[in-house]
Amino acid sequence: MIRQFGVGTMIKFAEDLFDNIGIKEVGKTDKDKSAFVLNEDQKDVMTAAGFEPGKGGENALLLSLDAPYDPDGLKLEISYYNSIRQDPKRSPETRMGRDIVHWMNQGDLIAIANIGDKLFTWKVQEAEIMLNELGNNVATEANQTDLLAKARKSKGKPPKQDRIVSDFLRNASVVAGVLSRAEEECEMPGCKVELFKRKDGSTFLEVHHITPLAEEGEDSMINAAALCPMCHRELHFGAQRLEKREVLRRAIVEKEN
């Protein structure tokens, strides 16, 4: 399933979570100069986090920016500095260099945000990660005192929103066939999780595509497995998910052959 929240909603998520946020579109000049020129909102974020730019490239302040929407925990090592102008009458530009230059493309909306002294960045138009995953990534990196203080300010019921959901039309016979093949056991080799029962007495299992449909995987018995919720989540988000994917693939191929 692909959840399309839209740029406005993703910005709302960010405003709820971060202390300050600044967003700017990458222009041709940014790419031509091989340096991202911050706008005023982004400079305010940096100042609020306690960082001021170095003077000139050689004296740049070196920092690490976390990308909370990246499932693999991307970190960008950046330089932060005021450029030295040849014309002394011109004000220096506040820029970022190094990893951010290679990561960004013209037209990207680059967000820079902070919680306390911890800095984060992401491409707004690509930020379609589930909210709980965003929260987990930020919780791992942010200062706990700052994060809890902000979270505890939230009161009352949340507003409602309209949402567009695009989903694959999965074959019901594949789902039923996989669950039948599993015989009420998780198909991940070596799984020792104690399974729980539904109200009707059947064992709860989730059907997982070994190669995800979003990665051009087939909706077929050979590419699907019945998993317990723990194994299912691990195969989506675990550090060893790709290795475990291949272990599961071999097990299902053996069953099907």
Q: Residue 24's domain spans which residues? A: 2-151
Residue 34 belongs to some domain of the structure = yes
Residue 4, pLDDT > 50, answer no
25 and 128 in a common domain: yes
Predicted confidence at residue 243, as pLDDT, reads 96
**Same domain (yes/no): 21, 136:** yes
Q: How confident is the model at residue 127 (pLDDT cuts 50, 70, 90)?
A: low
7, two tokens: 């740029």
Residue 70 has pLDDT above 80, yes or no: no
pLDDT of 192 higher than 70 = yes
Least confident of 71-85, 103-117, 239-253: 71-85
Q: How confident is the model at residue 6 (pLDDT cuts 50, 70, 90)?
A: very low
Q: Which residues pair with 194 in a beta bridge?
A: none
* 114 CB-contact burial (10 Å; exposed 0-12 / middle 13-18 / buried 19+): buried
Q: Which of 151, 178, 207 is the last residue of a domain?
A: 151
Quote the DSSP letter at residue 69.
T
CA pair distance 20, 14, nearest whole angstrom: 9
What residues form DSSP beta bridges with 65? 76
Query: DSSP readout, 48-66?
Result: HTT---EESGGGPEEEEEE
Domain boundary among 151, 181, 215: 151
- Return phi, psi of residue 2, to 5°: -110, 120
Q: Which two tokens stand for residue 207?
A: 């059907």
Type of residue at 234 = E
Question: At residue 68, does pLDDT exceed 50?
Answer: yes
Domain-ending residue, one of 84, 118, 151? 151
Q: Is the pLDDT of residue 154 over 50?
A: yes
Lowest mean pLDDT segment, chosen from 17-26, 169-178, 202-211, 222-231 = 169-178
Kindly state whether residue 31 falls inside one of the protein's structural domains: yes
Residue 159 in this model has a pLDDT that exceeds 80: no
Of the pLDDT bands very low, low, confident and very high (cuts 50, 70, 90), residue 5 is: very low
Q: Give yes or no for residue 101 having a pLDDT over 70.
A: yes
Does the pLDDT of residue 139 top 60, yes or no? Answer: yes
pTM of the model: 0.60
pLDDT top residue among 3 and 207: 207
Q: Residue 223 — pLDDT band, cuts 50, 70, 90? A: very high
Q: What are the pLDDT digits (tens) for 204-221?
A: 999 999 998 878 889 899
69/123 same-domain check: yes
Residue 163: exposure state from Cβ atoms within 10 A (0-12, 13-18, ≥19):
exposed
> Does 115 lie in the same domain as 172?
no
Q: What integer pLDDT is reported at residue 3 of this predicted model?
A: 35
